Structure 1
Amino acid sequence: MNLQKQINELISDRVNKNQFSGAVLIKKGNEEIFSGAYGYANRTWRVNNSLQTRFRIASISKMFTAVSILQLIELEKVSFSTKVVEYLNLENSKISNDVTIESLLTHTSGIADYFDEEQDDDEWEKLWYDIPIYKMRRLEDYLELFIHKEPVSKINEKYHYNGAGYILLGLIIEKASGLSYFDYIRQNIFSKINMKNSDFISLDDVDDLVAEGYEAISDSNKKIIGWKKNIYTTTPNAASDGGATSTADDLIKFIEALRNNKLLSEKMSMEMFIPKVLEYDDTSRNYIWMYGYANEFILDEESKEIVRCGHTGEEYGVSCRLYYYPSTNVIVVILANQGWCAGSLGWDIHDVLMNVNS
């Protein structure tokens, strides 16, 4: 069975079971080796998803934040060792004076998050009981949710995934550049490499070709009996820790631009593809899990070579994967407007790709 047929069968099976709605694009160099769009961008009117559909991409956006910070470091506006508290005038917070930009990039700052990703989903909804989620419009709106919390670990002690750290990086981008975070990304990433279908679109905005996000409603037997929009469970505006809107093709352009030094110098581009810290102390699937600058890596346990890097994205009604395989020059993009469906699909596609190249 050829590669295209294997992948299409994997996805079609999920679509038939209401387990996937979105778009998938896989390229090897300049060759498109698979593309497909499935399900509805709008369930009410039964508007189909297409490869031109724009999807919210959640934490994949962290990669834009990291690239922007590295650009500003190259311009000598800030440095990896810049002290965040001093730079942002956060002396009255519980963030350590020794937290640096680099520790925020690698999730090793030890600061408290505004929402710990290890908590249950119910805790996310409880977070917005007293502070309505629709009020989260600016980066500054997040500060009071975490700056007065006690640190969760010592600086550089361990990796702990942290959205608040990327909120701080967004504020640093604004101060160093004199632009809003969103305008900086638009001018220095999207426009620079012709990501013409990428932007920061609010849930309550009306814009072309943007998929709505949905969560499945299941009965006691886990059978899907309906759908709910994510308008009350997802922050209305994007932030520097996630929430941009993009297409599969634009995200391919982004990875290719990084590989070809179009966004950063050759030296700094290489830094984006170097694992920095141990992420998980396990070797599931015989891989070593590491993290860099908004880039998650899996390394072969024996050879220590990078097998795959990229980022995941998960929100209510959003599930995405952006993966790059350096040894084969393959890029995989999975964008879904249905919660928690891209992860297992990403692994199944990964296994198909590994078998083809073994």
Structure 2
Amino acid sequence: MELTKRIEEIVSNYNDRLPFSGAIFIQNEKKIFEKGFGYANRSEHLPITTRTRFGMASGCKIFTSVAICQLVEKEIITFDTCIKDCLDISFQHFHPSITIHHLLTHTSGIPDYFDEEVMSDFEELWKAVPMYSIQSPNDFLPMFQDQQMKFQPGSKFSYSNAGFILLGLIVEKMTGITFQEYVKENIFQVCEMTDSGFFRMDQLPERTALGYIDHEDGTWRTNIYSVPIIGGPDGGAFTTVLDLAKFWNGLFDRKLLGKEYVDKLLSPYVKNEGLCYGYGVWMAVENDEVLKYFIFGYDPGVRVHSSVNKKTKIQSHILSNIEQSVIPIVTGIDQLFSEKSRTL
């Protein structure tokens, strides 16, 4: 009870510009904390619960990475396979030595359709390209395929949404089905993530939170025109905090991949600003030891942070439907459990 109270205090003290709106689920061998805050639909005053579905933005890049690792495990491709050898698409300026490993680790050097190093407003993209026209990975190609390389493959890290679009195209090419259908059949269904999916923004199912964009004058709007109409390999799936726990459990229980490929997915390959990156997953590392695995993402009206502490096995899953960082809550929860472990 004391622990629950302290977590609720962390959330209530978080109130920056807006109070927290979202769901939080924390567990190790058993449930530690589970609660929804705010509204999934403000107009109808529908409250958020832990069964509410939220967009997860780039947080779902880990699903793309798992899909690729599954194809490698089946010996359909390798991590060293060059994209020129598995996609019959013209990339006239792309370096011929770009591999799947480069794409997975954001070290390919290809141009990005949304370069987060120089761009900050995701909505700006859809002024030139209607968001309703982006319905498959292939639809993204005109936005980057004829541009120049940013750097030599493997020479440095540069976060690339376009790289994961290419990974999704590879999944489609090698399996003969859509990327969304592959993830549904080989990840969501395997992990019994019954509330997760790639839902169209104009056909959202029950218990789905609308994403909200709040303005300084107190008005707001939803994010329906601010993101692609359906998500894909670089982001945009919907899930719940309970399903996120099912995903991590399925991964560690080897329902998705054998031990060798779970280890490959979760190995630190590159460093960036004090963190390490594996295949679609970030890692907090200290003295060359991995402390925590985590994914995060943000879109207009979307925030997600989902983590697993390697030592304590504590999982912390946070989904939000407002444009406000959840990092203060993440930090507060991490500090709380760090203090608790020192007193045990």
TM-score by length of 2: 0.95
Question: Alignment partner of 1:88: what SS?
Answer: coil
Q: Which runs of 4+ in 1 moved over 4 A?
A: none
- For the Cα contact (< 8 Å) 1:314–1:340, is it kept in 2? no
| Equivalence map 1:192-271=2 (5 Å) | 192-219=190-217, 225-271=218-264
- For the Cα contact (< 8 Å) 2:123–2:227, is it kept in 1? no
1:57-78: per-residue Cα shift (whole Å, max 9, x none)?
1111101100010000011111
Per-residue deviation at 1:343?
2.4
**2 CA distance for matches of 1:291 and 1:268?**
15
Q: CA distance change for structure 1 residues 355 and 93 in 2, over 3 Å: closer, same or farther?
A: farther
**1 CA distance for matches of 2:91 and 2:283?**
36
Partner of 2:281: 295
| Equivalence map 1:310-329=2 (5 Å) | 310-329=294-313
Which residue identity does 1:60 align to in structure 2? Answer: G
Per-residue deviation at 1:15?
5.5
Per-residue deviation at 1:23?
0.1
Partner of 2:26: 26
| Equivalence map 1:43-192=2 (5 Å) | 43-122=42-121, 124-192=122-190
Q: CA distance change for structure 1 residues 64 and 345 in 2, over 3 Å: closer, same or farther?
A: same
Which residue identity does 1:292 align to in structure 2? Answer: G
**1 CA distance for matches of 2:333 and 2:220?**
26
Partner of 2:271: 278
Question: Alignment partner of 1:166: what SS?
Answer: helix
**1 CA distance for matches of 2:269 and 2:336?**
28
**2 CA distance for matches of 1:193 and 1:47?**
28
Q: Number of aligned pairs?
A: 342
| Equivalence map 1:321-340=2 (5 Å) | 321-340=305-324
**1 CA distance for matches of 2:208 and 2:125?**
27
Question: Alignment partner of 2:219: what SS?
Answer: strand
Q: CA RMSD in A?
A: 1.6
- For the Cα contact (< 8 Å) 1:15–1:38, is it kept in 2? no
1:219-267: per-residue Cα shift (whole Å, max 9, x none)?
4xxxxx1222111211111010111111111110111111111100111
Question: Alignment partner of 1:323: what SS?
Answer: strand
Identity of aligned residues (%): 34
1:99-137: per-residue Cα shift (whole Å, max 9, x none)?
100110000001110011123434x33322221122111
Per-residue deviation at 1:52?
0.8
Structure 1 residue runs of 5 or longer lacking an equivalent are 220-224, 281-287
- For the Cα contact (< 8 Å) 2:123–2:300, is it kept in 1? no
Moved more, 228-237 or 243-252: 228-237
Matched, 1:345 2:329: yes
TM-score by length of 1: 0.92
**2 CA distance for matches of 1:120 and 1:345?**
26
**2 CA distance for matches of 1:355 and 1:152?**
44
**1 CA distance for matches of 2:59 and 2:310?**
18
Per-residue deviation at 1:290?
0.6
Structure 2 residue runs of 5 or longer lacking an equivalent are none
Which residue identity does 2:26 align to in structure 1? Answer: I
Question: Alignment partner of 1:169: what SS?
Answer: helix
1:287-310: per-residue Cα shift (whole Å, max 9, x none)?
x4110000101111xx32211111
